[in-house]
């Protein structure tokens, strides 16, 4: 250990001892707690210091674990409001609660820090007497950093069993009064948890800031050019005409998770972002947020105003969904929602049974308008259920396969009068479980919605058999081809066990399954998993959401299967659901095979692969090639054909940094796709695993927001050795031998330097899509 390390250890031990003396007498020594005013202006000395010296350290060392709904202890260090709010012992993700809990969304569910204290959040900054000594002694944030400094962290190897990195691990979430007990029982629990301590310089920056009282400033306000765009868009979205009001409601319910920016006034990739919100106040006045569980819940005001609120939190990859607004986009919205000839006589109700059903609320808006709107930003809409709060954890995600392609029915063919009439006549059957709100009795609700789905599917299949009786129209011409320019026409979804990703293009080798979405299916998925999902809901709400998604997945798969020859449709479906019991969802969907023949001429004995090729050819002009797995260097390309035993040992998402001869770095992502005999089992996923069928895909760039392994290849020789040794892996011991040589493990002494490099390279690759990665799923192997 070098001199600096010994000095830091000595000082940490001394300081921790001094702090511990005051734990049991805080009120006597420093007075009672009360909320402090920490906001200062960005040009103020303290404010400028926070923005330029403190905020970068928090982002690069703390926010990579503490951001979003799944931040440990709900401690969001990504904004001044989150830091001042502090932490809570109550979990957001709790699949066992019998009753829905009160929401705790930053900015929405409390207006100030005192209200958060009233909700049970405790401070990580000192809220007693404001002195240099008290500000350090009374800060949980400071003492967790100090605890790490005072207990040496291994500089190599795998961490012991005392470290729990499971997604639903026990969380301590101590107040300052409880910290002494935590430090004694879990001396290894200092922050950053399960990662090396921050550097001496970084520690001193945070220490000096905390000593002065932890003053914080907001980031710089939007530019005048951006504010002019905000004014234009708020004017467009808040006109008095009922047609405009209904259109704005529809737009909001689909875009409220997006990070909006204005490329026409931003020449670089660092714009300000905005969130579309509901406000009690009109444009020109300060935003007064309407806080409801769901975006369509009753606002309890006579008029809702749709406003653009500046996003001031750090941008996290796992929640970042950029959406560009421009003059062209405004014209497009006008042509979709305002120009068509329809009348809005009265605005629809906000009652749950109505508001949760988009087929009722927006029935007067033409189907083609709504569908085109969704297709224009199809990746963004699907990202809503990939990056929104629903998509977290194994149970939430074992309803989808690990890799599948997504295409869409052409809007001209999906909005004929017969289809519009079908949706109108079956709007009750298209109702979604969110109508039951957030406290649901799962079994009775499940039966009710299962019966409704059965009725709709029966009617849909009957109509399809009538319209496509001769099979001449049942060809790839049914598929939307992006209007010749839109690369949202073909997407790939990857499941990473307990997280997921969606990207443009048909990425990787041909998948096991594919979804073909029509308007009604696309809309229901959005209102099931995004607009209608309440992350704070009870177990019944979460369970019925998961089970209902079975119906929608089967429907999307069936749309694809119906393009195959009649003779193989049943066999393909049976292969996808091998070894499965006849679940209720499968029973309901068993009669969805069309009687109509396909109009596609097949010439091989592998029609499914042939159909993949035909769809890819039909969309060739618009398919994104950004993640083309065939474009990686030849040596690394061997990873696309790893033996299954080697693949079985891999984590779901691995990032690879390869140093080039000129000192620059290229990035790749190695994805492990778990194969299943079927995905119809809610609680027995391991029992349905087909390990010998697992595959891997290597692509250029970054796919995924939660790296589980980080590999660093210093040169070509290193790269060849890595590929050959990884290909030879057959067990955990051999895998750990490879990680010891090539991985940047949690214990790597230069972990944070490599983390900084990883983010620098990611910023180059991702551009406007860049955000901080999340390290909560980083493996310990």
CB contact burial 196-210 (16+ within 10 A = b; e otherwise)? bbbeeebbebbbebb
Distance CA(467)–CA(450), nearest Å, equals: 26
The SS3 call for residue 516 is: strand
CA-based end-to-end distance of the chain: 24
**Which region, left, alpha or beta, applies to residue 681 given φ > 0 means left and ψ of -120 to 50 means alpha?**
beta
Backbone angles phi, psi at 658, to 5 degrees: -115, 120
712 touches 754 (CB < 8 A): yes
Q: How far apart are CA 289 and CA 79, in angstroms?
A: 18
72 Cβ partners below 8 Å, 6+ apart? 65, 66, 171, 173, 193, 776
Task: In whole angstroms, give the CA distance from residue 575 to residue 34.
Answer: 63
Coil, helix or strand for 589?
helix
Question: Kindly report the CA angle at 66 between 60 and 71, in degrees rounded to 5?
Answer: 155
Four-CA torsion 772, 776, 780, 781, nearest 10 degrees: -60
How many contiguous H segments (helices) and E segments (strands) does the chain have? Answer: 31, 12
**Which residues of the chain fall short of a pLDDT of 50?**
1, 3-24, 584, 588
Cβ–Cβ < 8 Å for 644, 727: no
Q: pLDDT by residue (tens digit) across 733-756?
A: 999 999 999 999 999 999 999 999
Q: Of 553, 552, 532, 554, which Cα lies nearest the Cα of 542?
A: 532
Find the DSSP H helices in 638-694.
644-649
Distance, CA of 232 to CA of 288 (rounded, Å): 19
CATH of domain 629-769: 3.30.1050
- What is the SS3 assignment for 678-729? CCCCCCCCHHHECHHHCEEEEEECCCCCCCCEEEEECCHHHHHHHHHHHHCC
Give the integer Cα–Cα distance in Å for 742 and 650: 14
Q: Which residues pair with 709 in a beta bridge?
A: 654
CB 438, CB 538: distance < 8 Å:
yes
What does DSSP assign to residue 93?
-
What lies within 8 Å, CB to CB, of 266 at 6+ separation is: 226
Pairing mode, strands 259-261 and 322-324: parallel
What are the extents of the domains in the chain? Answer: 3-211, 397-511+530-625, 629-769
- List, in order, residues 6 or more apart from 760 with CB less than 8 Å away: none
Which of 145, 351, 128, 325 is closest to 232 using CA atoms? 325
3-state class (DSSP) for residue 55: helix
Whether residue 399 contacts residue 500, with contact meaning beta carbons closer than 8 Å, is answered with no
* pLDDT at res. 592: 63
Q: In the beta sheet, which residues pair with residue 479?
A: 409
Cα separation of 305 and 282, whole Å?
6
Distances (CA, A) of 762 to 360, 364, 421, 766: 43, 44, 48, 6
**Residues 6 or more apart whose Cβ sits within 8 Å of residue 364:** 246, 342, 343, 344
**Coil/strand/helix, residue 410:** coil
**Which H or E run includes 723?**
helix 716-727
C-alpha 264/C-alpha 327 separation (Å) is 9
Q: Are 745 and 689 in contact (CB under 8 A)?
A: no
Ordered alpha helix ranges (H), 138-284: 140-150, 179-185, 200-211, 224-237, 242-255
State residue 482's pLDDT score: 98
- Burial zone of 396 (CB within 10 Å; 0-12 exposed, 13-18 middle, 19+ buried): buried
Burial of 664 (C-beta count, 10 Å sphere; 0-12/13-18/19+): exposed
Q: Which two tokens stand for residue 132?
A: 């240099």
Reading the block at residue 627, the tokens are 């993640």
Region of 166 on the Ramachandran plot (φ > 0 left; ψ -120 to 50 alpha; else beta): beta
Helix (H) or strand (E) holding 446: helix 442-467
pLDDT of residue 444: 77
pLDDT, tens digit (0-9, with 9 covering 90-100), for 425-447 = 999 999 998 888 888 776 777 78
Burial 65-103 (b: 16+ CB within 10 A, else e): bbbbbbbbbbbbbbbbbbbbbbbbebbbeeeebeebbeb
* Cβ atoms of residues 280 and 213 within 8 Å: no
Tokens of 431: 């109702």
Task: Calculate ∠ Cα 221-222-227, nearest 5°.
Answer: 130
Provide the pLDDT for residue 395. 56
323 touches 329 (CB < 8 A): no
CB 95 within 8 A of CB 542: yes
Q: Which of 245, 344, 375, 340 is nearest to 301 (CA)?
A: 245
pLDDT at residue 586 in the model: 55
pLDDT computed for residue 599 by the predictor: 94
Sign of the C-alpha dihedral, residues 192, 194, 200, 201? negative
In this structure, what are the phi and psi dihedrals at residue 502, rounded to the nearest 5 degrees?
-125, 135
Q: List the structure tokens of 600.
A: 């596609």
Count the Cβ atoms, other than its own, within 10 Å of residue 585: 22
Strand partners, 405: 492, 514
Element (H, E) at 734: helix 732-742
Determine phi and psi for 177, rounding to 5 degrees.
-65, -25
Phi, psi of 661 (to 5 degrees): -65, -25
Residues 714 and 754: beta-carbon distance below 8 Å? no
Task: Check: pTM over 0.85? Answer yes or no.
Answer: yes
């Amino acid at each position: 250990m070098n001199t600096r390390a010994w000095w830091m250890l000595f000082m940490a031990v001394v300081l921790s001892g001094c702090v511990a003396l005051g734990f049991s007498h805080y009120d006597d020594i420093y007075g009672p707690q009360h909320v402090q005013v920490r906001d200062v202006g960005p040009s103020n000395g303290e404010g400028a210091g926070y923005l330029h010296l403190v905020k970068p350290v928090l982002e690069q060392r703390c926010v990579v674990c503490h951001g979003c709904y799944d931040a440990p202890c709900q401690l969001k260090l990504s904004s001044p409001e989150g830091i001042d709010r502090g932490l809570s012992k109550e979990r957001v993700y709790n699949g066992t609660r019998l009753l829905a809990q009160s929401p705790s969304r930053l900015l929405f569910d409390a207006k100030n820090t005192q209200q958060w204290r009233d909700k049970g959040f405790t401070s990580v900054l000192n809220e007693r007497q404001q002195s240099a000594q008290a500000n350090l002694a009374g800060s949980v944030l400071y003492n967790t950093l100090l605890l790490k400094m005072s207990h040496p962290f291994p500089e190599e190897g795998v961490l012991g069993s005392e470290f729990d990195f499971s997604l639903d691990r026990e969380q301590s979430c101590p107040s300052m009064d409880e910290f002494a007990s935590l430090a004694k029982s879990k001396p290894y629990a200092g922050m950053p948890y399960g990662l090396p301590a921050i550097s001496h310089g970084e520690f001193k920056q945070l220490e000096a800031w905390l000593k002065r009282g932890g003053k914080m400033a907001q980031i710089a306000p939007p530019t005048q050019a951006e504010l002019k765009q905000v004014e234009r868009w708020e004017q467009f979205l808040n006109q008095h005409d009922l047609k405009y009001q209904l259109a704005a409601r529809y737009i909001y319910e689909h875009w409220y998770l997006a990070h909006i920016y204005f490329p026409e006034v931003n020449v670089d990739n660092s714009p300000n972002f905005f969130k579309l919100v509901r406000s009690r106040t009109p444009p020109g006045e300060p935003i007064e947020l309407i806080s409801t569980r769901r975006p369509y819940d009753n606002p309890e005001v006579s008029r809702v105003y749709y406003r653009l609120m500046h996003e001031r939190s750090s941008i996290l990859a796992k929640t970042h969904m950029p959406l560009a607004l421009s003059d062209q986009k405004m014209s497009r919205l006008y042509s979709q929602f305002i120009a068509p000839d329809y009348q809005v006589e009265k605005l629809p109700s906000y009652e749950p049974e109505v508001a949760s059903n988009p087929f009722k609320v927006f029935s007067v808006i033409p189907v083609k308008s709504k569908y085109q709107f969704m297709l224009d930003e199809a990746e963004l809409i699907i990202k809503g259920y990939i990056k929104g709060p629903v998509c977290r954890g194994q149970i939430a995600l074992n309803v989808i396969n690990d890799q599948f392609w997504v295409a869409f029915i052409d809007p001209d063919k999906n909005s004929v009068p017969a289809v519009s009439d079908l949706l109108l006549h079956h709007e009750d059957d298209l109702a979604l479980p969110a109508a039951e709100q957030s406290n649901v009795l799962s079994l009775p609700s499940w039966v009710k919605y299962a019966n409704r789905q059965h009725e709709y599917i029966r009617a849909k299949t009957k109509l399809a058999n009538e319209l496509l009786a001769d099979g001449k129209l049942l060809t790839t011409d049914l598929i939307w081809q992006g209007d010749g320019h839109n690369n949202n026409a073909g997407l790939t979804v990857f499941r990473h066990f307990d997280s997921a990703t969606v990207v443009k293009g048909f990425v990787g080798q041909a998948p096991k399954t594919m979804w073909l979405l029509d308007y009604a299916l696309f809309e229901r998925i959005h209102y099931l998993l995004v607009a209608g999902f309440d992350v704070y809901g009870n177990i019944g709400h979460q369970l019925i959401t998961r089970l209902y998604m079975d119906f929608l997945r089967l429907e999307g798969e069936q749309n694809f299967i119906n393009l195959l020859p009649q003779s193989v449709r049943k066999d393909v479906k049976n292969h996808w659901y091998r070894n499965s019991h006849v679940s209720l969802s499968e029973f309901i969907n068993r009669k969805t095979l069309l009687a109509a023949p396909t109009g596609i001429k097949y010439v091989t004995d592998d029609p499914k692969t042939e159909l993949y090729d035909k769809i890819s050819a039909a969309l060739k002009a618009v398919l994104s090639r950004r993640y083309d797995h065939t474009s990686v260097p030849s040596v690394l390309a061997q990873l696309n054909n790893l033996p299954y035993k080697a693949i079985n040992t891999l984590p779901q998402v691995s990032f690879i940094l390869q140093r080039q001869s000129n000192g620059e770095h290229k990035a790749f992502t190695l994805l492990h796709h778990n194969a299943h005999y079927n995905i119809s089992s809610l609680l027995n996923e391991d029992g349905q695993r087909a390990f010998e069928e697992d595959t891997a895909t290597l692509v250029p760039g970054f796919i995924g927001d939660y790296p589980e392994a980080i590999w660093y290849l210093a040169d070509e020789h290193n790269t060849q050795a890595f590929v050959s040794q990884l290909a030879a892996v057959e067990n955990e011991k051999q895998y750990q031998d490879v990680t010891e040589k090539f991985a940047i493990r949690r214990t790597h002494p230069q972990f944070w330097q490599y983390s900084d490099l990883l983010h620098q390279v990611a910023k180059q690759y991702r551009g406007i899509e860049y955000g901080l990665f999340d390290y909560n799923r980083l493996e310990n192997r």
